[in-house]
Structure 1
Amino acid sequence: MSASAAHGARRGRAARGGGHEEEHVNHERWLISYSDMITVLMALFIVLFAISQVDQDKYVALRDSLAAGFQDTTTSPSVLDGSAGTMDGTSVVPDTSPAAGTAGMVSADNGLGMQGSEPVPQPQPTTTDTATVDPEVLAAAEREAAHLQELQAMIAANLAANGLDGTVRFRIDERGLVLGLVADDVFFAAASAEMTDTARRVLDVAAPSLVGIGEQISVEGHANVIPVSGRYATNWELSADRATQVLRRLVESDGMPGGRIMAIGFGDTRPLVTDSSPEALMQNRRVDLVVLSAAPEQVRALLPALTAKG
């Protein structure tokens, strides 16, 4: 075959094949992605294994040091100084998240600067063992308990001097000092938010002691389970109105700063006594004045145990 014939044959084959030979396909390309995935998974498991190996002694020392540092930053030179902490599980603070059924909260504004607030749940008794509490926390709790007991004694003495002894029921719980104005027709008549003359006298006598402190005051209205009719659609409105009337007396007549006080209505959802006796109905128809302690939660959790001893 001549050279020209051979050249023509090659051109013919090239024309029939499109001018280019088909490239070879790499069917093992997926191995690269698979290898990358395996490598990442191996690194992940190595990291998980590494962080799962915790030195218990070092962890406890770090936890206690952080607790001590955040407890009192003014006296602790470092949060990692190895000092004894307070997070040992012995000082348990009860849950203070808002409970269900708080539709009776009153935003006491009325042009007096009185601001509403989230309702404060009724505290439950605690069994805190003060013998196992950090000494600094215990000392702070003892000072706060003494302050609240002194305030209680002052108000009780003023009431007694004005012939009103026994009209207020005092107790100290995790929130602070509670002045219970039990509505056994001394403060409010049944199904009424109109304060009696005795109720106004009690508030006027107690007010100077309450005005002279710096704590916030929560006025909390309660009602018993007997349905109301007439002016109030439900016990929510009745309890909220009672709390508001007490708040207004303290602000408008007794000089309480409006920014330090709030009014809340709880209806019949937080009874002191759960039976249906006349005594229970009387005790649950009440207004509580709560002097809210400004102490930390760890300190406030110890108040019931300390004041019960006294």
Structure 2
Amino acid sequence: MSGGHGAPGGRRKKHEEHEEHVNHERWLVSYADFMTVLMALFIVLFAMSQVDAQKFQQLRKSLASGFSSADSVSVLDGSQGVLDDSAYLDSPAQDALNADLVTADAMNGMQASNPTYVPTDQGSQGASGASLEGADAADVAAAQAEASHLEEVKAAISGALSQSGLQDKVRFTITDRGLVMGLVADDVFFAAASADLTAAAMTVLDSSAPVLRGLSEQISVEGHANTLPVSGRYATNWELSTDRATQVLRRFVEHDAVPGGRIQAVGFGDTRPLVAGDTPEALEANRRVDIVVLSSAPDQVRALVPTIANASNGH
């Protein structure tokens, strides 16, 4: 029988496997992804370059106003603790320390009597203040209020000193830092190479302490020395100036009950001279301590305060 043998034409054909087709355009996917990321990058860069300066300033002032109320510490301005050095840094004119210590009248008088008096550029900006032209109206109003407050503090201390006849031994000036009370008067406060307080110095400190004690602002006591080399107990003028500031601070805190948490002592050595040169006048003037009532107003307000104070005093 031939039933078990199929004809050759009736056999089932084997399945033929075809070779898989290779996709030679796979690179287009990676290329498209790369171009998409690159386009996104340029869009972000373009958006970042289109910052509206006016709107940014409005936002900055709004945030500063919101965080700078009387009962809170401004996030933008930083706090002013005992060890806080924001009083010396990061303000439009905050690095002013030497010419800040005298008013315009005192500066003119010293220059007339001593041709070597040369206020440095470092201090002139903080004493003169920023221009009111183009300033924000709210900032000007706040600066006027701050200047008026500092003038009241100055008048109160001057009145207390006048009872002891020492009002002429202290120089006052209002700067972008606040009210600077300069103890500069020959040997009235400190002898050469010494940090010991004289009787007159203690009288000045004790007379001004009640006013300072009643304030809410931080107080910075800043010691200075002249360029003469020191000997004996002090290795350098840094130690001498720091000890002078410390002795003033201790008098305020230990004898006059000024809160220790609101006062700090700083020594500048002979790096911040009030009068240039090595004349007897310069050596005497640079042997000093400055007591600074640090303004707590925002930076843009404090920058306007000296201008307003000088205008109100007719300078």
Q: What TM-score comes out, normalization by structure 2 length?
A: 0.71
Give the Å deviation of 1:31. 4.7
Conservation of the 8 A alpha-carbon contact between 1:217 and 1:289: yes
Residue number among 260, 263, 278 corresponding to 1:261 in the alignment: 263
Give the Å deviation of 1:142. 0.7
Give the Å deviation of 1:296. 1.2
Residue number among 168, 171, 176 corresponding to 1:169 in the alignment: 171
Q: Distance in 1 between matches of 2:191 and 2:41?
A: 70
Residue number among 134, 137, 148 corresponding to 2:136 in the alignment: 134
1:118 aligns with 2:118: no
AA at the equivalent of 2:63 = F
What is the SS of the residue equivalent to 1:289?
strand
Give the Å deviation of 1:161. 1.5
User: What whole-Å deviation, never above 9, does each CA across 1:213-238 have from its counterpart, x for those lacking one?
Assistant: 11111000011111111100000000
User: What whole-Å deviation, never above 9, does each CA across 1:166-200 have from its counterpart, x for those lacking one?
Assistant: 11111110111011011521111000001111101
What is the SS of the residue equivalent to 1:227?
coil
Conservation of the 8 A alpha-carbon contact between 2:178 and 2:293: yes
Residue number among 211, 214, 228 corresponding to 2:213 in the alignment: 211
Structure 1 runs of 4+ off > 6 angstroms? 20-27
Aligned to 2:31: 34
Conservation of the 8 A alpha-carbon contact between 1:116 and 1:262: yes
Conservation of the 8 A alpha-carbon contact between 1:119 and 1:264: no
AA at the equivalent of 2:145 = R
1:69 aligns with 2:36: no
Structural mapping, 1:270-309, within 5 Å: 270-309=272-311
What is the SS of the residue equivalent to 1:166?
helix
Give the Å deviation of 1:249. 0.4
1:146–1:47 CA distance, 2 compared to 1 (3 A): closer
Give the Å deviation of 1:262. 0.6
Q: Distance in 2 between matches of 1:261 and 1:60?
A: 38
Give the Å deviation of 1:152. 0.7
AA at the equivalent of 1:62 = K
Aligned to 1:191: 193
Q: Distance in 2 between matches of 1:119 and 1:44?
A: 38
Conservation of the 8 A alpha-carbon contact between 2:174 and 2:309: yes
Q: What TM-score comes out, normalization by structure 1 length?
A: 0.72
Q: Distance in 1 between matches of 2:207 and 2:43?
A: 70
Structural mapping, 1:215-230, within 5 Å: 215-230=217-232
Conservation of the 8 A alpha-carbon contact between 2:182 and 2:288: yes
AA at the equivalent of 2:303 = A
Conservation of the 8 A alpha-carbon contact between 1:116 and 1:263: no
User: What whole-Å deviation, never above 9, does each CA across 1:29-71 have from its counterpart, x for those lacking one?
Assistant: 545433432343244345545x2784x8xx3563354245335
Structure 2: gaps spanning 5 or more residues? 1-16, 68-76, 89-94, 97-122
Give the Å deviation of 1:290. 0.4
Give the Å deviation of 1:274. 2.3
Q: Distance in 2 between matches of 1:131 and 1:42?
A: 44
Conservation of the 8 A alpha-carbon contact between 1:224 and 1:271: yes
AA at the equivalent of 1:118 = D
Q: Distance in 2 between matches of 1:27 and 1:283?
A: 87
AA at the equivalent of 1:134 = D
User: What whole-Å deviation, never above 9, does each CA across 1:46-102 have from its counterpart, x for those lacking one?
Assistant: 5545x2784x8xx3563354245335349xxxxxxxxxxxxxxxxxxxxx99xxxxx
What is the SS of the residue equivalent to 2:168?
coil
Structure 1: gaps spanning 5 or more residues? 1-19, 75-95, 98-113
1:163–1:38 CA distance, 2 compared to 1 (3 A): closer
- When the two chains are superposed, the root-mean-square deviation of aligned CA atoms in Å is 3.0
Q: Distance in 1 between matches of 2:64 and 2:86?
A: 27
Greater shift in the superposed pair: 179-188 or 118-127: 118-127
